[in-house]
Amino acid sequence: LEEEQPEPTTYLKDKATSFYVGVAMKSNNLNGKYDEIITHEFTSITAEYEMKMNVILPSKGQYNWSQSDAIVNYGIENELNIHGHALVWHQSTPDWIENFTGTDAEFEQEIKDYITAVVTRYKGKIKSWDVVNEAVLDGNGNLRNSVFRQRMGDDYISKCFQFARDADPDVLLFYNDYNMTEDQAKQDAVFDIVDDMQNRNIPIDGVGFQMHIRYNGPSKAKMESATNRIVERDLLAHYSEVDVRVNPNNDITTLTDERDIAQKIKLTELVEVYNALPSANKYAITIWGIKDNDSWIIDLYNHPDWPLLFNSSFEAKKAHTGFLEGLE
């Protein structure tokens, strides 16, 4: 076998000049190889979990700013864009909110106070927020019956966007969700919500497609047609949580060359679709993690996968080259 050639070391940010290249990271990534990769390759960061409500406000009145402050300070020091994720998400609701015992009005006040406190604290530092994440159910397009919906009504989404806007007139406000290119019912429901918000002058600046995709789907055409629905609404598009599973059916035990190359090609397609958007609609492509063995995918599916751009030794994979080739 000829010596495996290392991938060329062009940094992503040196070729992605019309949008941010982001990466999900943690407050224990602020040094060593993680820091090296973040600062050399990327122009934006997203906290993978430390800016969620269950971390920042685990108990009523007990704000924990230490982890989010560390990430924000790191971003400022390294002149990185900081994308806030996520103000309201049913999977990161602290118990005291999930099992809130007060009235609906008191619940709404707690959420308003929380959004106001967080957005105000990072005004001018965090440039954008996923205000509401994953509000629509899979397969049928119905609103998820989260505690936010139960306590604040169907209009909780608009209320949360308004709370965020009232706290910061300039911060970019995103709605974020997954399977947006393949679940037509969900996609239709999300854009119905967006249309309703725009018709009522509720502030929204962009839509995030998480893009947790696979080596063999979605197709480039599906990515294009779904993303064009953001462009049609004059909104910013954010591919907000990109990873590419190469072992969705658990049929490989090592990263085969065939899957490695297929992942590279899928990344190229994704980046080509995004890079072809009008510049007015581009915000960021954010990769959901740094090296393969850190990926949430492995924990979730509990079998091997290699979804990211760097291998477990922090070396750039073919997928990293695929990203670069999507920018040509």
CB distance 181 to 208 below 8 Å: no
Q: Look up residue 159 and give its two tokens.
A: 């209320």
249, 243, 230, 235: which is closest to 180 by C-alpha?
230
- Output the CA torsion sign for 229, 232, 233, 237: positive
Please report the sign of the dihedral spanned by the C-alpha atoms of residue 116, residue 121, residue 124, residue 126.
negative
Min dist. Cβ of residue 132 to ligand G3I (A) = 12
Minimum distance from residue 249 beta carbon to ligand G3I (Å): 19
Q: Point out the catalytic residue in the list 108, 241, 258, 269.
A: 241
Would you state the structure tokens that stand for residue 208, as one six-digit string?
Answer: 């995030």
As beta bridge partners, residue 175 has 132, 207
* Rounded least distance, CB 138 to ligand G3I, Å: 13
The nearest distance, CB 159 to ligand G3I, in angstroms, is 21
Residues 6+ apart with CB under 8 A from 280: 234
Distance of CA 280 to the CA centre of its chain: 19
Count of residues near ligand G3I by CB under 6 A: 10
CA distance 6 to 4: 6
List binders of ligand G3I among 13-52 (CB under 6 A).
Answer: 26, 48-49, 52
Which candidate in 7, 108, 134, 269 is catalytic?
A: 134
Active-site residue 241, yes or no? yes
Where does residue 9 rank: exposed (0-12), middle (13-18), buried (19+ CB within 10 A)?
exposed
**Number of Cβ within a 10 Å radius of residue 300:** 11
Bond before 218 cis per omega within 30 degrees: yes
Strand ranges (E), the chain = 20-25, 44-47, 81-89, 128-133, 172-177, 206-209, 212-214, 236-245, 282-287
Site string for ligand G3I, 214-253 (x = CB under 6 A): ---------------------------x------------
Report the nearest approach of ligand G3I to the CB of residue 242 (Å).
11
* Closer to ligand G3I by Cβ: residue 119 or 132: 132
**CB closer to ligand G3I, 213 vs 265:** 213
Question: Looking at beta carbons, which residue is closest to ligand G3I?
Answer: 296
Identify which of residues 158 and 210 has a Cβ nearer to ligand G3I in the complex: 210
Closest distance to ligand G3I from the beta carbon of 210 (Å): 5
Distance CA 310, CA 320 (A): 7
In terms of CB distance, is 307 or 326 closer to ligand G3I? Answer: 307
Question: 36 an active-site residue?
Answer: no
Of residues 7 and 48, the one with the C-beta less far from ligand G3I: 48
- List the x/- string, 292-311, binding to ligand G3I by CB under 6 A: ----x---------------
Task: Report if residue 92 touches ligand G3I, rule: CB under 6 A.
Answer: yes
Residue with smaller CB distance to ligand G3I, 2 or 299 = 299
Among all residues, which ones are annotated catalytic?
Answer: 134, 241
Contact positions toward ligand G3I, by CB under 6 A? 26, 48-49, 52, 92, 133, 178, 210, 241, 296
